[in-house]
Amino acid sequence: MKSIKRELHCPVCEEMVKQPIVLPCMHSVCVLCAAEVLVQRGYPPPELPAEPKTPTSSPITRSPRQTRRPPPKTDRLDRVIRTVCGTHPGRRRKDTPPVIMLFPCPTCGKDVELGERGLADCLRNLTLERIVERYRHTVSLGSMAVMCQFCKPPQALEATKGCADCRSNFCNECFKLYHPWGTPRAQHEHILPTHSFRPKVNSAVAKEQLNQCVSELRSVLAERQGALAMLLEGARAQRAGALNAQLSKKQSLLENAGLLTYTQELLKETDQSCFVQAARVTHNRLVKAIENQQHFSLSADPSFRHFQMDVSRELKALSSMDFIQAPLAPVIDTQKTLAYDQLYLCWRLPQDSAPAWHYSVEYLRKVGSSGSNDTHCSWQRLDDVGGTSAVIDKLEMDSVYVLRVRGCNKAGFGEYSEEVYLHTPPAPVLSFCLDSRWGLHAERVALGKGQTYARSVPGMTLLQAADRALTSCHLTSDLLVADVSITQGRHYWACSVEPGSYLVKVGVGVEAKLQEWFHLPQDMASPRYDPDSGHDSGAEDTQDCPPPFCFLTMGMGKILLPKCGVSNTSTGPLTAPLPPRLGLCLDFEKGRLTFYDAHSLRVLWEGTVDCSAPVCPAFCFIGGGALQLQELIANRSTEQNPPRRVTIQTRATDAGH
């Protein structure tokens, strides 16, 4: 089509040819362009060729489209004539000898002799004119006829209308069928049939939605008005029926007025026998009439006072009706948001924010120490999150993740929340429960549901030793261990210790040593009794082998950092505020236990432990206290499994382990 379009251009005006004529050199130009060129070269205004009259020779009369097209204007030729020749009449043609006109053909570049009559002897190029007309007709129809998309073949008709909302073309019958009167489809915008539907303007869609919402409100209001009117009419008809039923009683009351007149006349009767006979009957009728008069009341309330409507709330709601806004930036709850076996993100919307239909959570792994995100990493997204929390899994260990969230409703997405940074644990999370098979005293230690919570309360042992309280410290000591023993790898777990606890020791120990320790009698009343790793005493500092236990002591809102350790190079022990959650990471191959602030993963202290045999997490209570194991995020929506005994290892172990 593009190549054909180039062939249909006039070489003079470089536009689509209009009324082309054939020059003697067999090239075609517009008749007005040829006349223009001749006038500019000094020739008198030429006589233009006559317009064909027969219907078979002119596409103008055959085409219904050309009948509506106005004839070509000759203003351009008249303007050129006035400019070149002036406005004087000049000499008559018959007074001058005939002039042979030479036309410079722009196609071949030669001067072509036109003859004495000039352009009048040139023939119209009707074939080229028909080709131009068919080309324009084809382009106007989009290179092919637009057919109805809903007519069943082979009776498919040419489309006469297009629907901008349905983005389809219809014939007249199909358009009426799919856009019935009185339905929302009847309000669709119809256009000329086309193959490329332009998208509706944003403003147009919003206006259409506004009109639709208002129409729905009107229909609901009209429906409710009809229902209330029917209820009112039913109550009116019911009361009217009840009142009409009392008309007969009203008639009997009117008859009582005649009975009263009869009684008054009876009192004037002088004949005693007649008076006595009539008075007995009249008396009974009077008593009955008086009873009816005293007990008569309307069976229905004619008033409709309680059929009043209070539309103040609805008017207030309608007056405050406005376009919805996108949700404001959510506020992330940093107290509930945490990183453990998975990332758990919790947020809420501001109080004055528009509601959100769903949320989009985005997260990005941060790499490098310069504070800039890796350009190769892109934001990953969780779409259509229904609640105000989300869980993200399949994360890399010991990494920092950036998270943000935004809400979405009918108005679109709102702004992003502030970005939060979460540090994933340095090792895979170890899942276990508390095991009370050693050293449990039911009167002092109680386990919660799921065996992830423990509380120790001083009991009878402390009371019975009250007479010796002035000479020594008498405390109870109870040990709880995990139902999991570790034989390889790196593992991480976290717990929280109640700030009001007296003394709670958290750490790990060799399983066999812990069992031996709590099966042998111990001097619980001695102030030197301390089931610690030995880091607090100078006697064990000279030992070459690592100790079988590694604990940190905490209580009364403080945590004691021993004087010897990887991260403590001072001369004496230090105390630090007790973090909300304490994290522990055991590297079994290196025999090293690291304590963290579980919220920021800041290292608090590192110690060594003998890992030549299976070890297990251990918790020791001295006095009253309580602790809670960190719950797995993956188990928040599932039921807790019953306690079990698991050994994490790849090789077989003997029964003693």
DSSP state of 429: B
Higher per-residue pLDDT: 98 or 332 = 332
Closest Cα to residue 599, out of 371, 427, 423, 343? 423
So what's the pLDDT on residue 248?
67
Helix axes 75-85, 31-40, angle to 10 degrees: 10
Residues near 184 by Cβ (< 8 Å), separated by ≥ 6?
212, 215
| 8 Å CB contact between 135 and 8 | yes
Q: How confident is the model at residue 644 (pLDDT cuts 50, 70, 90)?
A: very low
The answer to whether domain 331-368+378-424 and domain 434-467+474-520+548-561+574-631 are alike in fold is: no
| 8 Å CB contact between 1 and 143 | yes
Q: What is the dihedral of CA 6, 7, 11, 13, to 10 degrees?
A: -50
Higher per-residue pLDDT: 165 or 556 = 556
Q: What percent of the chain has pLDDT over 70?
A: 71
pLDDT (mean) for 483-496: 94
Number of neighbouring beta carbons within 10 Å of residue 390: 19
pLDDT (mean) for 28-53: 78
- Which tokens go with 293? 């008069």
So what's the pLDDT on residue 421?
93
Q: Is the pLDDT of residue 496 over 50?
A: yes
Domain 331-368+378-424 has CATH 2.60.40.10: yes
pLDDT (mean) for 530-554: 62
Give dist(CA 74, CA 76) in Å, integer.
5
Q: Which CATH architecture has domain 146-197?
A: Irregular (4.10)
pLDDT digits (tens, 9 = 90+) for 337-358: 999 999 999 999 999 899 999 9
pLDDT (mean) for 123-133: 87
So what's the pLDDT on residue 201?
57
So what's the pLDDT on residue 655?
38
Instruction: Give 452-505 as a DSSP string.
Output: -EEEE---HHHHHTGGGTTTS----EEEEEESEEE-SSEEEEEEEE-TT-SEEE
pLDDT digits (tens, 9 = 90+) for 24-38: 889 899 988 888 888
Q: Is the pLDDT of residue 566 over 60?
A: no
Average pLDDT, the chain: 76
Q: Is the pLDDT of residue 592 over 90?
A: yes
Q: How confident is the model at residue 87 (pLDDT cuts 50, 70, 90)?
A: very low
Number of neighbouring beta carbons within 10 Å of residue 551: 28
Higher per-residue pLDDT: 309 or 644 = 309
Q: How confident is the model at residue 526 (pLDDT cuts 50, 70, 90)?
A: very low
Q: Is the pLDDT of residue 281 over 50?
A: yes
pLDDT (mean) for 249-256: 64
Q: Is the pLDDT of residue 473 over 70?
A: no
Q: Is the pLDDT of residue 426 over 50?
A: yes
pLDDT digits (tens, 9 = 90+) for 283-319: 777 777 766 666 666 666 667 777 788 888 888 888 8
Q: How confident is the model at residue 554 (pLDDT cuts 50, 70, 90)?
A: very high
Q: What is the CA radius of gyration of the chain?
A: 52
pLDDT (mean) for 233-255: 73
Domain 1-138 has CATH 3.30.40.10: yes
pLDDT (mean) for 437-448: 72
Fold for 434-467+474-520+548-561+574-631, please state it: Jelly Rolls (2.60.120)
The domain segmentation of the chain, as residue ranges, is: 1-138, 146-197, 207-302, 331-368+378-424, 434-467+474-520+548-561+574-631
pLDDT (mean) for 448-471: 68
Strand blocks (E) in 109-194: 111-115, 123-124, 161-163, 168-170, 190-191
Longest dimension (CA), the chain: 158
So what's the pLDDT on residue 518?
63
Q: Is the pLDDT of residue 593 over 50?
A: yes
Strand blocks (E) in 498-614: 503-510, 549-555, 558-561, 574-577, 582-587, 592-597, 602-608
Return the minimum-mean-pLDDT range out of 181-185, 381-385, 634-638. Answer: 634-638
Q: How confident is the model at residue 390 (pLDDT cuts 50, 70, 90)?
A: very high
pLDDT (mean) for 567-589: 81
So what's the pLDDT on residue 35?
87
So what's the pLDDT on residue 374?
47
Return the minimum-mean-pLDDT range out of 147-161, 452-466, 479-493. Answer: 452-466
Strand blocks (E) in 98-148: 101-104, 111-115, 123-124
So what's the pLDDT on residue 504?
92
Q: Is the pLDDT of residue 475 over 90?
A: no
Termini Cα distance of the chain:
87
Give dist(CA 84, CA 81) in Å, integer.
5
Q: What percent of the chain has pLDDT over 90?
A: 24
Higher per-residue pLDDT: 54 or 42 = 42
So what's the pLDDT on residue 630?
93
Higher per-residue pLDDT: 200 or 408 = 408
Q: How confident is the model at residue 51 (pLDDT cuts 50, 70, 90)?
A: low
So what's the pLDDT on residue 602?
92
Q: Is the pLDDT of residue 376 over 70?
A: no
Q: Put the strands of the sheet holding 168-170 in their side by side order.
A: 168-170, 161-163, 190-191
Higher per-residue pLDDT: 68 or 259 = 259
pLDDT (mean) for 390-407: 92
Higher per-residue pLDDT: 49 or 521 = 49
Establish whether the linkage from the previous residue to 154 is cis, with ω within 30° of 0: yes
So what's the pLDDT on residue 368?
60
Q: Is the pLDDT of residue 537 over 50?
A: no
So what's the pLDDT on residue 579?
93
Phi-psi region of 451 (alpha: psi -120 to 50; beta: other; left: phi over 0): left
